[in-house]
């Protein structure tokens, strides 16, 4: 059982602090980098649009966060079925200095039965990213919806070379759910437990984070709860986690415990 304080601490350490808004500016990315330097440690990564990668890396280095990874997105958010487009975007992201790439699987093509296209896109993107950096594959589970389709997409992405499988873009009505997470984590276990998992979209509180962490622990064990294999993709979650930890600290200082 993971208590709420542990969940909040882990949540910060395992977070991809994200800003993927069309009105993002260098000033907003600078503010995001400042937010990442917390009293409770730093997130695993920042996730920004490709055009902001170089600036984010510079701003992180200026704040003593040089070890924090900078991730970006490609084929985002629509999951186009144009492989060349996805490869070009991924190459530009790596050239810009991205440490990790979150690529959207062509989920509409997958739904229409074209699984070979999805596999080819992921395999070729992994070839660009290479072994030294991470490729997260966004399945868009809220659109796939059916447990079997989520499981099949998970297995396909893992087989194609994904370092992580990720629930969602955060840009559709239904994003991360515990049901989808269970299918994905079970597929990861079935294939040896080496692929990472990322819950993105809709994880907003320490209680939400606790539920996902407990689910992952129940399927893959406590050691799986590491930044090398587990992430949250979130924007507003960080504030709630810090408030949770600040409340715990305040209660301890007053001599009262939960």
Which residue in the list 57, 69, 136, 198 is annotated as catalytic?
Answer: 198
d(CA 185, CA 190): 9
Nearest to 58 by CA among 47, 70, 50, 41: 70
CB 236 within 8 A of CB 204: yes
Under 8 Å between Cβ of 231 and 69: no
- 170 touches 201 (CB < 8 A): yes
Confirm whether 148 is a catalytic residue. Answer: no
**How distant is the alpha carbon of residue 136 from its chain centre?**
7
As given in the structure block, the two tokens for residue 61 are 């280095």
Among the options 99, 136, 166, 208, which is catalytic?
166
Q: Residues 16, 81, 99, 102: which is the catalytic one?
A: 102
In the chain, beta strands by DSSP E: 15-19, 45-48, 69-74, 100-104, 134-138, 164-166, 196-200, 230-234
Q: Which of 190, 112, 111 is nearest to 145 (CA)?
A: 111
198 is catalytic: yes
Told to judge if 28 belongs to the known catalytic residues of this protein, a careful annotator would answer no
Catalytic machinery residues: 102, 166, 198
């Amino acid at each position: 059982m993971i208590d709420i304080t542990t969940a909040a601490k882990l949540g910060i350490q395992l977070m991809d602090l994200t800003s993927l808004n069309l009105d993002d500016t260098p000033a907003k990315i600078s503010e995001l980098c400042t937010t990442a330097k917390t009293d409770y440690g730093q997130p695993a990564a920042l996730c920004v649009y490709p055009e902001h990668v170089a600036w984010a890396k510079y701003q992180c280095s200026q704040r003593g966060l040089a070890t924090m990874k900078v991730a970006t997105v490609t084929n985002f958010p629509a999951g186009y079925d144009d492989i060349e487009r996805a490869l070009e975007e991924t190459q530009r992201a790596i050239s810009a200095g991205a440490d990790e790439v979150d690529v959207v699987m062509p989920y509409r093509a997958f739904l229409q039965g074209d699984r070979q296209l999805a596999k080819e896109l992921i395999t070729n993107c992994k070839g660009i990213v290479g072994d030294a950096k991470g490729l997260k594959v966004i399945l868009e589970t809220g659109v796939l919806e059916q447990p079997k389709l989520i499981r099949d997409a998970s297995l396909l992405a893992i087989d194609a070379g994904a370092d992580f499988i990720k629930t969602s873009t955060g840009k559709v009505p239904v994003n991360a759910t515990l049901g989808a997470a269970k299918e994905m984590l079970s597929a990861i276990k079935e294939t040896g437990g080496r692929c990472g998992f990322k819950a993105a979209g809709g994880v907003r509180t320490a209680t939400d984070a606790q539920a996902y962490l407990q689910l992952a622990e129940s399927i893959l064990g406590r050691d799986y709860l590491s930044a090398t294999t587990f992430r949250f993709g979130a924007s507003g979650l960080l504030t709630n986690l810090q408030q949770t930890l600040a409340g715990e600290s305040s209660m301890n200082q007053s001599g009262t415990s939960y």
